Chain A
Amino acid sequence: MIAPDATLRDVAFTVGTALDRAGIGAVLCGGSAATFYAPDVYQSEDLDFVLNFSGDGAAVITALASLGYVFANGMFTHPASHYTVEFPKGPLAIGAEIVNRFDTVHDGDRALHIVTATDVVRDRLNKFAAWDDFSALRAAVGVALAADVDLDEVRSFMRREGQGVFRQRFDEAVQTFDRRVRERRL
């Protein structure tokens, strides 16, 4: 059940486990995944799950209804919690690249599928470069400092993503990110 004081991490485990037990493959992604890895740095208030294979909408509604969630206006809301749950349209992608991997984390008998910390950093840094969104930069730095992240993979992705006229913008984003990670400047 979802308690009023449940953290995003608690809600993620509860929802992820309910989906998993219903045979629905769903991966936590976006800002909620950043909050999962770095809760002190970045606060998201909704959980985005992408179905990693053909998801059955009715089965999702049934699984979440068992936890008290109500589906309306394209999202699930819960009377006891301000965290909403959504299922953005897949496939899971960061920039122009499809993501085929994820981690499974456990908390007792609960399980949650979540994008890797490296992919969270790739996603947030891509958003900083694309939109000058400093809150996304802060999330990227926070996750890079809190979790095990392959920074070389992040840099290669940014080089691939920042082609042509976007080159300078993406290089600049990586430089800013690297400096803040190096200086541990949140």
Chain B
Amino acid sequence: MTTKTLPREAAICHAERMDALKLFGGVTRTRVVVVTIALRETYAREVARLARAPLFSVQRILDDLEREGILVSVLSGNQRRVMLNAEWLAANELRALALRLAEIMPDVRTALDAERRRPRRRGKPVDRARRDVA
């Protein structure tokens, strides 16, 4: 059996195309949908940071998605936390698609993979060189 690999230039070009997907209407909108739904529960500023999108655009897109019934939000202190509406008719399918896209969009995957979301033991030093303290 022989294994074929893409030439390096073609692989880079392919990766760039995946990061520029416009599946949900535009590049930013697609990245916002993928990040928000992959994270399951998040907030606008976090989505903006991970999707590398302007906060204002992210807030607008999240509002749109909430109006369409795809996302729901709850206020926690001063923070509005958004999540996939579990009762929306295609919630499971959209979540599966978002997880798949998060794997094949290199920029999004790198941003998500660098994000620690599990709890940290109290008193444990926070991140010393912007790296994980596990």
Docked Cα-Cα span, A136 to B113, in Å, equals: 8
Interface flags for A144-164 (1: CB within 8 Å of B; 0: not) read 000000000000000000000
Docked Cα-Cα span, A138 to B121, in Å, equals: 21
Residues in A with CB closer than 8 Å to B123 are 73-75
Chain A nearest Cβ from B6, distance in angstroms:
14
Check A172 for interface membership: any CB of B closer than 8 A: yes
Interface size of B in residues (CB-CB distance below 8 Å): 31
Stretch of A9-17, A42-50, A57-65, A103-111 on the interface side: A42-50
Q: A131 touching B119 by the CB < 8 A rule?
A: yes
Q: A46 touching B118 by the CB < 8 A rule?
A: no
A135-B103 contact, Cβ under 8 Å, with A31-B132, A73-B123, A82-B128? no
Interface flags for B116-134 (1: CB within 8 Å of A; 0: not) read 1111010111011101111
Check A116 for interface membership: any CB of B closer than 8 A: no
A138-B113 contact, Cβ under 8 Å, with A176-B103, A180-B103? yes
Check B115 for interface membership: any CB of A closer than 8 A: yes
Q: B95 touching A172 by the CB < 8 A rule?
A: yes
Residues in A with CB closer than 8 Å to B131 are 43, 45
Interface flags for B95-122 (1: CB within 8 Å of A; 0: not) read 1100110110000010011111111010
Residues in B with CB closer than 8 Å to A30 are 134
Chain A nearest Cβ from B106, distance in angstroms:
10
Q: B99 touching A172 by the CB < 8 A rule?
A: yes
Check B72 for interface membership: any CB of A closer than 8 A: no
Residues in A with CB closer than 8 Å to B39 are 132
Q: B133 touching A135 by the CB < 8 A rule?
A: no
Q: A137 touching B124 by the CB < 8 A rule?
A: no
CB nearest to B40 among chain A residues: A132
Interface flags for A29-41 (1: CB within 8 Å of B; 0: not) read 0111011000000
Residues in B with CB closer than 8 Å to A82 are 128-129
Q: B96 touching A44 by the CB < 8 A rule?
A: no
Binding site for B on A (CB under 8 A): 30-32, 34-35, 42-46, 73-75, 82, 84, 86, 88, 127, 130-139, 168, 172, 176, 179-180, 183, 185
